Chains A and B, each alone.
Chain A
């Protein structure tokens, strides 16, 4: 039985449809992340799950029970908010205990629960302070403590890390992951940060314009994107999209990419094992080749023809060493493509370099409707 099931949920504000027939099921103990650009409906969906906004149509089930028309209080869920939403007039202890108090949990049990989560989150020394006396990271912990104290069926996290600075954000991310692994809680987590999504989620739902475009594990979403939007949204630096055309036929499809200047066009053989039915109808038509920056590698003379992938030459325009990698911008097919190389690369801007591309991981989209072809 699913911990949370969303059936054909629609939500309209006036004339605009914010959620369009969303269906989704989450297993108990699963960490689901809703990700997408602002305005995609992810926060509305979360509010609908919480009961903070009534849905226009559809049903929401929690633990097998239809809660569509229940109040937030009756749903047995807890939520961590972006602004933390701590009660400023109460101490940390009172903040954490408030939900239990409202549910008429006896004082002794409340105290126990407070101690338990305070231990868990290492905020025992802060219990008698007011929220205004806490740092951002501490507030974040208290907000999580408030949710954890109640031990609800489902936890909702609404961009909980977006108000923290970069370093703290990474720390808290790890912390949340540890908590989830330790407690086995069911979590629905909203973010617009695809790195958070990749690192935390068991499954990711990528949303756009009120639709779920793809629901899958981080690996599926990253390596097997459903369409160009998902491919472009996940991963940083983003996937390179190269205009190309499809040639050949079954067993010998080739992707032809026009290169700049007088260079001969790049003709890349499409791996036979990755052929799909959809390709046949696209021969001779413009397609978009998706290559992630790490799908490129530097030509190594010593490997000669044994090296995998197809060789080509390009001019670098910008070199960005990040420490762990070196990112290059190269002119290719009329666009700048980003290439990720190892940190030891000695390439300078303006250099002409030889690169190989790993076609076994490339993806192909229809230029026309941005759908995935292969």
Chain B
């Protein structure tokens, strides 16, 4: 890997990095710059935009990071991210039910979500091994089914804590306020500071960085390299004695756990845990973000996640106020999100090597 070679001078490395930047990344970056300039021209506070961008990138980061193991193992982008997400949501709900508050709640949530997500990821990995070649379509519908199944669960499971129930009737609320357990923005507020009007949520960024580094270290380990090798060339890897199926399952377990942890970090920053159909479409922005960062449907790195999530969330954050001022009365930013997000996934699909019968 290029990063490992210490003899490369900084300028050379920058140059080679610039050469590696893909077309989607450049287009989105240019577009973001354009909206920023537009926002500046119509007098929108840049500090607020930067603050929001940082916050939203940190919020979504781990969900995007969940794509890396799945892509590297050769399963393709984890379109079944909602599986991990509902595990995380379930853990949060259980932690509230147990009466935990503040950091205790956060720790308990993480603690519950890991075994849960590992079990779910194992099953999901098994499924992905059974349907090689059509992983993406089936993953999407597996994710959808799990979300729908959990809708039934949210409605029927006998949770008692009044902080989560409806005032009348059975079942959990659509959105659960994390304020009630003293956990709203709990990570964001650790060591939070301001530069001018720009708010830096240090705790949130450190959490994201922690997971990134963990993933990076894992993919430098023997198992990690074996997973990547299986993704690049399954036949070769098999000849080298690597158990590809086992590695794919492992990668999907990691991906699912990251999804579960990701939604906990997301929810605490958002201030609400969103149940029922909220997780349904959450995989697509995450897939789009990693692709924008320069990943393909078969190769992804942690750096792609960081670049992608900043660019994508930055663009979305900027576009909303700018579009509202420039084209008052329309909801252009949501439309733009749909077009960019799905356009980028389609672009990535056209780059997948076709296996025509």
Q: Judge: A and B partners, yes or no.
A: no
Question: A residues within 8 Å of B by Cβ?
Answer: none
State the B residues within 8 Å of A (CB): none
